[in-house]
Structure 1
């Protein structure tokens, strides 16, 4: 059953399909030109229809952040899956179950203690888990230093313990903190060089390392070459968002996800429009507050998706959003945004906003929408 933006119940998470397909083609074309496989991170969307579009464009395998994602996409026919979060011991039985059912699931680790847990469980169940060792190339989060002793120790524990040491992976999450082409290119090279160095050290020690996996949306779109890399991972590029706009890797009209909301009231003396999308719809993510341009809870657009310059969602309660001019009170606010009129809000962080909804409304070029389910949880 199809609807339109005027007939949807609100708030609604809307994917503008022409934009999404353009984003998918842009990334896949870039990876093809750089000569690497592309393994999209599907945590952004958790949606089978979106992932199918990525696979149709040429993606090879997927990256997930939860084993529930692995379950859902394996059930939908995706076999080659990387679970790109350090494996907790209590999740090894679930990983084993997926592999025994035919899923080619790869797990990751970044410590000797975790590697030993994988080996002990694998040996006890006669399973040679495929494992990547996570490398820290930017001090952002997890991983081992590419020049550190522990990198070799972890790899040795896995290899000598009978697991299938597949290689190394890294994620330059600090790229989200940058905003110039030169800085992004430098971070992309830092990510590449650090991961390749780790791979070379494993090989020099006589250890297998067929996979060298790197990626984030900003570095994937900024790398000038990827010598020594076998695959790239990126996720939010499929929708983009205001954080990525501030980073400088997308234009406003590349952002494919928005929230449609209805005007339900006014506070004229404050210059406020009250809408039915609060933080339960937009999320509490204020990622742009740390960047050069703060979009508060989101950029306000007309129902046609065109940004309304100067208007932001400036506040949010659970089910109420506050729309206002960012530079003062608009005396015509009531007439400009009458009760029952509809707006679209571009999100700070597409992953967080998408996670608030059980489905997307996929908006085609002809103005019709179709419900695309997504899933939640771990």
Structure 2
């Protein structure tokens, strides 16, 4: 089967680029002296997980119960669920932990939540390992590394025979709001420092912990050192996207996933080409535009850049300028209609691949510059386990 045989829109994975990206981050983790626990919320694929964990202990990070179930069924046993936990999910988590024989680690940052967890875990007669989430400046979740709440949470865990403090975890979400090596390296140091400070205080207070976890793709790329850290959890790097290009974490040639779309119309009045990939196929994320692009010929990235079907360099000046639910409009270029006749297939490079890839059930996998489909890799979707059969 070839790319021209696929239905559109389809999600295409360039295997050469994905392999290169995963190998590079693997080397980076070894250089920094930490374990790599890749975040699979981006790819949601067992095959990508296997690429990303080569040469590593094999632990992964996820964001949904569906991902825990999916990866657990495929032999991944050491899983960190890196979303603040709610007690009503514990029944399902306990069942998954038992069914798949998992070492499942959960995240907490509030005493009320922790009290509910202790009560429910006791009722289920099960044990959970916990990480205390630390706020390293992103302001999304977590406790201050120098605050009293940190020690209070640790004491509260110690009072329960069903909960175990495994360590601390932080995520520098603010790294996506800055650009360039120096600025991101500064954020990476703030991320490292917050996690290590929290771990140091806990150990000084007599608590044992084995995990000091940090993670984002930009900080993993540009961190100057991770002394005191045990693991990092980047995820976008497996596929990369325009947002990572814009902040300087990768180049266009590193983007491994794109959306295959078909030209379905010409609008002479608006000088736009209509494609069958819109807001649901591409997402409405415009994150890279907030930086200015730094890409010659592309002052505006629109909702994605347009490439030929072979997935090479973006076509000069062409971008997805507007999206509706199932329609996209390509603009740019004096010979737009000649370049993109009706029926022509194109590949769109996305702003934020986590958002773009999520709705698709699988990747159609190709080798660089080749139209042949060499594999179809299933993906997991949604939030809750679906009791899928083991492959």
State the TM-score, normalizing by the size of structure 2: 0.92
Residues 247-302 of structure 1: CA distance to partner in whole angstroms, max 9, x if unpaired?
10000010001011111111123221111111121012222243323422101111
Q: Which of the numbers 47, 63, 74 marks the counterpart of 1:65?
A: 63
Question: Shift of residue 160 of structure 1?
Answer: 2.1
Judge conservation of contact 2:36–2:53 (CA < 8 Å) in 1. no
Q: Which of the numbers 318, 337, 340 marks the counterpart of 1:337?
A: 340
Pair 1:301 & 2:307 matched: yes
2:78 corresponds to which residue? 80
Question: Shift of residue 57 of structure 1?
Answer: 4.3
1:347 corresponds to which residue? 350
- Correspondence 1:247-266 to 2 at 5 A: 247-266=247-266
Separation (CA, whole Å) in 2 of partners of 1:208 and 1:122: 21
Judge conservation of contact 1:40–1:59 (CA < 8 Å) in 2. no
- Correspondence 1:178-189 to 2 at 5 A: 178-189=178-189
Judge conservation of contact 2:135–2:144 (CA < 8 Å) in 1. yes
Residues 33-80 of structure 1: CA distance to partner in whole angstroms, max 9, x if unpaired?
111111000011111111122223435310010111001100111000
- Correspondence 1:287-298 to 2 at 5 A: 287-293=287-293, 294-298=300-304
Separation (CA, whole Å) in 2 of partners of 1:331 and 1:221: 39
1:141 corresponds to which residue? 140
1:19 corresponds to which residue? 17
1:372 corresponds to which residue? 377
Secondary structure in 2 matching 1:106: strand
Deviates more, 1:355-364 or 1:75-84: 355-364
Residues 322-354 of structure 1: CA distance to partner in whole angstroms, max 9, x if unpaired?
0011xxxx4422212111111111001101110
Question: Shift of residue 166 of structure 1?
Answer: 0.4
Deviates more, 1:36-45 or 1:57-66: 57-66
Separation (CA, whole Å) in 2 of partners of 1:148 and 1:106: 23
Separation (CA, whole Å) in 2 of partners of 1:308 and 1:352: 23
- Correspondence 1:119-134 to 2 at 5 A: 119-134=118-133
Unaligned runs of 5+ in 1: none
Question: Shift of residue 31 of structure 1?
Answer: 0.1
Separation (CA, whole Å) in 2 of partners of 1:100 and 1:318: 41
Separation (CA, whole Å) in 1 of partners of 2:365 and 2:139: 34
Q: Which of the numbers 40, 44, 47 marks the counterpart of 1:46?
A: 44
Deviates more, 1:284-293 or 1:180-189: 284-293
2:297 corresponds to which residue? none
Residues 202-242 of structure 1: CA distance to partner in whole angstroms, max 9, x if unpaired?
00111112110001000011111110000100111000001
Separation (CA, whole Å) in 2 of partners of 1:117 and 1:261: 47
Separation (CA, whole Å) in 2 of partners of 1:309 and 1:204: 58
Residues 157-206 of structure 1: CA distance to partner in whole angstroms, max 9, x if unpaired?
01222221001000001100011211111110110011000000000111
